[in-house]
Amino acid sequence: MRLAILSHSARIYSQMARREGFDVLAVDAFADAETRQAAQACVIWPGFDNPGAAHGMADLLAQLDAFAPEAVVFGSGFEANTKAYQALCERYPVYANAAEVVMQVKDPFVLQQTCERSGVASPMVTRQKPVSGTWLYKQIGACGGGHVQIDDFAATGPSAAFDQAYWQAFQAGQAVGLLFIAQSNACELIGVHALKQRPGGFTYAGASRLHDEKIWAAAQQVLNALLPNLNLIGLNSLDAIWVEDTLHVLEINPRLSASMRLYSQMPLIQVHLASCQQAQGPALSRLTGYASHCIAYAQQAITVRSLDWPEWVEDRPTTHEIAAGQPVCSLYAEAETACGVRAALQDQKTQLEKLWGTYVCKHIEFNIH
């Protein structure tokens, strides 16, 4: 089957799809080395960095038409571009949530009301700049966490300059993600993982598998309460805060998730397509063992043309320069224990320091905590 994958970063989905027997067209913002290797064709689309505009749509449609996909799936990057999402759904055989479902699920006020009706904890949200307390300033439809700011109510703090801005009450605790498959308002929980964030901010920096039975039970309870009210299909993920044996729902991502890297040995692309067709997909078994993937970010502009790239490094760039704040690469490790995973990641970092030199590595956040 010819499968088109559209995502800000399509690497892991492309690799999984290739292993599952699909011919892949990858459309993303980076076209890193592994994505190019996994896909029959790879297209860089600038619209991921300009979601409010129709920038490059004609070129994107031409590339898709030439590939003639038998199925189209989405990762991140289209939640804020509903016009493009709808156009693609009308033109191609899209295996994803309907555009109106995406808009509803990504509306923080609708989600909070759904949580309240379902008896699920969720932080308060408002469109008006609060005057006290600790709040997060966010943008509806944005992804990756880079848009999130702590609002300290200083004179220079963020203000609602456009209709996509809102505030969510800050909830302390452990940030976690749930990966699940939805079908006919039922669900199957695939995994629960701790979410990593860049130091001093909220930008997504990776995830680590969790096996705490209390969190798993709470996750299943939350999904059982919410799913009948959301009309989701296929693979989706949910972000929450775990504190005092309670999950506080922050948002739902109605699409493929980067956390799928932790479960890439599962036939998740086939499962997703089957779910979108209301069909029975391959059986899944809960994974044992621990795993972590970590996104390394540049703290300042880095020249990478002369760096050696071990094969175990993921998301290897094809550009010569990486701007400050942009991802450099990713690391991944598995082990029987959480300590074993951290030790393996630390060993990878040490190897890179030997290859690249400590001067280069001191300007990179490895996020292996």
* Mean pLDDT on 143-159: 68
Q: What is the structure's pLDDT at 192?
A: 98
Percent of the chain at pLDDT exceeding 90: 78
Tokens 């109106």, located at residue: 100
Report if residue 127 sits inside a domain.
no
Q: What is the dihedral angle through the alpha carbons of 344, 193, 266, 97, rounded to the nearest 10 degrees? A: -140
Please check whether residue 31 is in contact with residue 102, taking contact to mean a CB–CB distance below 8 angstroms: no
**pLDDT class for 155, splitting at 50, 70, 90?**
very low
Question: pLDDT tens digit string along 166-213?
Answer: 999 999 999 999 999 999 878 999 999 999 999 988 899 999 999 999
The domain of 42 spans: 2-94
Count: domains in the chain: 2
**Inter-CA distances, 285 with 253, 266, 268, Å:** 23, 8, 12
Residue where a domain stops, chosen among 94, 113, 145:
94
* Mean pLDDT on 84-111: 95
Q: What is the structure's pLDDT at 123?
A: 97
DSSP 229: G
Q: What is the structure's pLDDT at 54?
A: 52
Question: pLDDT tens digit string along 329-346?
Answer: 999 999 999 999 999 999
Give CA–CA dist 261/265, Å, rounded: 9
CATH classification at residue 81: 3.40.50.20
**pLDDT class for 162, splitting at 50, 70, 90?**
low
Q: What are phi and psi of 100, to 5 degrees?
A: -70, -30
Report if residue 310 sits inside a domain.
yes
Report if residue 260 sits inside a domain.
no
CATH classification at residue 356: 3.90.600
CA terminus-to-terminus distance, the chain = 39
Q: What is the structure's pLDDT at 184?
A: 81
Residue where a domain stops, chosen among 94, 117, 135:
94
**pLDDT class for 273, splitting at 50, 70, 90?**
very high
* Mean pLDDT on 253-270: 97
Report if residue 234 sits inside a domain.
no
Q: What is the structure's pLDDT at 179?
A: 98
Residue where a domain stops, chosen among 37, 64, 94:
94
Q: What are phi and psi of 103, to 5 degrees?
A: -60, -40
Helix-helix angle 108-118:213-226, to 10 degrees: 100
* Mean pLDDT on 238-248: 97
Report if residue 55 sits inside a domain.
yes
Question: pLDDT tens digit string along 296-305?
Answer: 999 999 998 8
166 forms beta bridges with 138
Tokens 């989905």, located at residue: 13
Report if residue 355 sits inside a domain.
yes
Report if residue 225 sits inside a domain.
no
**pLDDT class for 144, splitting at 50, 70, 90?**
confident
Tokens 């939640």, located at residue: 79
**Is the pLDDT assigned to residue 139 strictly greater than 90?**
no
Report if residue 309 sits inside a domain.
yes
* Mean pLDDT on 234-261: 97
* Residue of 125 and 53 predicted with greater confidence: 125
